[in-house]
Structures are given as C-alpha cells and as structure tokens.
Amino acid sequence: MSAARRICLGLLARMPHGELTIVERGRTVTVGGGEPRATVRINTARAWSALLHGSRGLAEAYADAWWDAEDPAAVIRVAARNAAVLDAWRRRAAPVRVPAQALRGIRRANSRAHSRRDIAAHYDLGDDLFGLMLDETMMYSAAYFPSPGASLADASRAKLELVCEKLSLRPRDHVLEIGTGWGGFAIHAAATRGCRITTTTISPAQYEHARRRVARAGLEKLVTVVPQDYRDLDGRYDKLVSIEMVEAVGWRSFGAFFAQCSQLLRPDGVMLLQAIVIDDRAYEVEKASTSFIRTHIFPGGSLPSVEVIARCLARHTDLRIADLHELTPHYAETMRRWRANLDRAGDQLHRLGYGARFRRLWRLYLAYCEAGFDEGRVGVVQMLLGKPRWRPSIAAAPVRHIGERARGAADPEQPAKPVGAVGEPLG
C-alpha cells in the first residue's frame, strides 16, 4: 500500500460524519457510517497523492479521471459534513498561514487590470457554454423556486420579481446595476417596471451580448449598458442592484466596494445585494486559500461572510441592513438543474470544442457548489441596504417562501405587459 493511500484512508477513517465506499481494482473499502453516503471509484493510484492536496488536488484528479463517482455531489457532501474538523486544524496553523496569505494578497491585489483578466477567464468562455447550461433568461445566479416542480426559467423570473418587489421599483426610478451578467435583470426590470437602468460590466463578451438582448427587446431608451469598472462609476442613483458580483472583488476590496455603492446612492436610496456567503467561522481560513474554485473557476474571487459584510457596512458606509433573506436551498436546486443541463449537452459541448477534461472540471464545480449549499458550508442571501433617509414602504410585498406561487412574467426578450401594483395577490 502506498504511503499516500495509507494516509488518506487513515484520515477518512477518522471522519465523524457520513460514509464513503471506495472501490479500487475490484476491492471495496467502506469508512465511516451513516448519512450522507457516497461511493468513489479509484481509477489509478495517482489519485491518492492528488487527494492530499485538498480541494485543488481532488478537482484536478477528477478532471483527469483518476477517480470517479456516479454522483460527485454526494462525495462532496461527505467532505462538507466533515469540514469543521479540517477547519479546526487550519485555524491552529493560522499563525504560520496568515502572514503568507497577506503577502499573497498584496502580490495579487485586485487592480482593474487583474479584475478584467479574472472576469474574462470565467465569463468569456463562450456564450455557447452558458447558453447550454443556463435557462433562456441567461441568469447565472441563484434562482427562486416558487414550487418544487417549477422550471428553471420560471424560477429565474421569480427571483427577478423578488428583487424588483423588494426594491419597489417604479417608472421614475433610475437604477444602477453593478454586474450586468447577460442582461437578465436590466431587461426584466425595464420591461416590467418601466424604470431606467444603467448596468455595468467589465466582461467584453457579456457587454456585447447584453447590448444585443436590450436591442432585441426594444429597450434601448430605458437600458444603458456600460463597459466600466464599478470603481470608476459616478453619479447618484435612486436604487442599486448587485447580484452575485461582490464575490469577484476580492477580500481586500470588500470595504471599498461597499463604500462605492453607498457613494453612488442618493441619501434616500436603497440597495439590493445578492451574495454568496461562507460560514463566518470558515471565512478567515478560506479567504486567501488556493482552493479548487479560486484556482480553476473564479480566479481572484473570495466569498464574504454575513459578519464581514455587516462590518464593512458599519466601517465604510452609512448603509444599514433593512432585510436579510436566505435563499440557500434554492441555490442547491439551481446548481442541480445547471449540472443536469451540462450533462445533457455533453455531445454538443464536445462538438463546440469543450474537451472532456474541461467538461469534467465544470461538472465537479457545479456538484461542489451544490453540495456546499446543501450542507450549509456556503449560502446565498439577499440583503436590502438602506441609506439614512430611505424609508421602507408598508405596501411592499412580503417575502415569499418555498411553495408559494410566483407572479408570471413575460418573455424577457420581449417588452412585457404592465403589471399590477406590488402587493397584489400573486398569480
């Protein structure tokens, strides 16, 4: 037995939660017991050495098919359930690791040039990839499922409705969106609420795609897409939206991001932030790690925690948290739907030039996130952040919960019919 295999099996045998069945060369070993359960097939002994390098080694070995699993999310769920044990060890090593993290952060400061390169490395991989993985709205963020059987597109529209309702968007509002994506929110808000939207992105591919979609929807008079870094924006806006963009600014820049958002709002303005967040207790050990996601999927990214966001707001802004709504179970389901879409599109992606290693890496990325949301390792929240003179309206729609039916919305590519006042019965 190799030393790496012996070490890995010894560590796995000590995990307090879950059960892992390992199949290798016709032999089966089971470690642990209870839920969750997963089965792994080891295809080459090289996998054991790779597994000693944390999530990065795990992912690279999966991408190279050194190990496999019928359901990789189940494997990650077992790992996530036992993550607290690893975190405790990493916290003990913090006196050695933190100075190195700080040095790496200085070297890798999130400058405008770095930000553009990092965004392009992920979002400019091709509209074909995202078009096959996402739904027709092209929303690349947590959907909101009004019922378990809702389609992914309906759930994406329900999320957009939730954002619009929380902000009580009206035709007289001028809204700033930081992080355009493929234009889904800007088009939906302008079409259904009649408000003006200025939306900004530093992804050349997303900029061009969003402009085309806005033109097809006939919304050029209401929606302006600008290729600009959030740090270079000026003016004052009634309302501000940022949907899963803060994760890209880097942990050293969280305070500057929120300070700029506050500066861009009128004294009676309000902001809707949707953010992927990490457990507060894991933030310090994760913020500058060289994890699989930060290395291969989102270079330069870092997840805040709710506590970190609150601290940044208090230290750098005059914004206050007026509402916090957790959508974590909805993101786990969103990730399952995206992974299923990616699996169904395997042959098409192959023909388009996305190789087997790339597809396996992205399949694991989606499974990795799905399991993280299922196990509470990471979450997603919507925060309503008000300026000092902003006052919530008593007529604002209540927060929906799983199982409630969402208001239907028109095709985002077409101007929508006017909708009734916020707070009407949904349907």
Output the DSSP codes for 374-398. Answer: HTTSEEEEEEEEE-TT----TTSPP
Q: How many Å from the N-terminal Cα to the C-terminal Cα in the chain?
A: 62
pLDDT at 236: 97
Beta strands in 231-309 (DSSP E): 237-243, 265-278
Question: What value does the mean pLDDT take over residues 347-361?
Answer: 95
pLDDT at 92: 56
Residue 79 or residue 88, greater confidence: 79
**Helix/strand/coil for 369:** helix
361 to 83, 168, 286, 367: CA distances (angstroms): 21, 40, 21, 10
With a pLDDT cut of 90, the percent of the chain lying above it is 72
Residue 42 makes CB contacts below 8 A (sequence gap 6+) with 22, 23, 24, 25, 48, 66, 67
Helix, strand, coil percentages (3-state) for the chain, rounded to 5, are 50, 15, 35
Is the pLDDT confidence value at 324 over 70? yes
Which of 64-73, 279-288, 404-413 comes out lowest in average pLDDT?
A: 404-413
Rounded Cα distance between 283 and 304, Å, is 7
Residue 19 or residue 419, greater confidence: 19
Phi, psi of 200 (to 5 degrees): -125, 145
Instruction: Give pTM, 2 decimals.
Output: 0.85
Query: What confidence tens digit (pLDDT) does each residue in 371-396 have?
Result: 999 999 999 999 999 999 999 876 55
With a pLDDT cut of 70, the percent of the chain lying above it is 82
- CATH 3.40.50.620 holds for 112-386: no
Query: What confidence tens digit (pLDDT) does each residue in 162-196 have?
Result: 999 999 999 999 999 999 999 999 999 999 999 99
Residue 276 or residue 296, greater confidence: 276
Ramachandran bin of 225, using left for φ above 0, alpha for ψ from -120 to 50, beta for the remaining angles: beta
Question: What value does the mean pLDDT take over residues 261-270?
Answer: 98
Please provide the average confidence, as pLDDT, over all residues in the chain.
87
Is the pLDDT confidence value at 404 over 70? no
DSSP strand pairing (237-243 vs 196-200): unpaired
Q: In the chain, where does the domain assigned CATH 3.40.50.150 lie?
A: 112-386
Residue 313's pLDDT band (cuts 50, 70, 90)? very high
Residue 400's pLDDT band (cuts 50, 70, 90)? very low
Q: Give the residues across from 116 on adjacent strands.
A: none
**Helix/strand/coil for 225:** strand
Residue 110 or residue 66, greater confidence: 66
Token pair in block for residue 45: 């002994």
Residue 293's pLDDT band (cuts 50, 70, 90)? confident
pLDDT at 422: 29
- The string of DSSP codes covering 149-217 is T--HHHHHHHHHHHHHHHHT--TT-EEEEE--TTSHHHHHHHHHH--EEEEE-S-HHHHHHHHHHHHHT
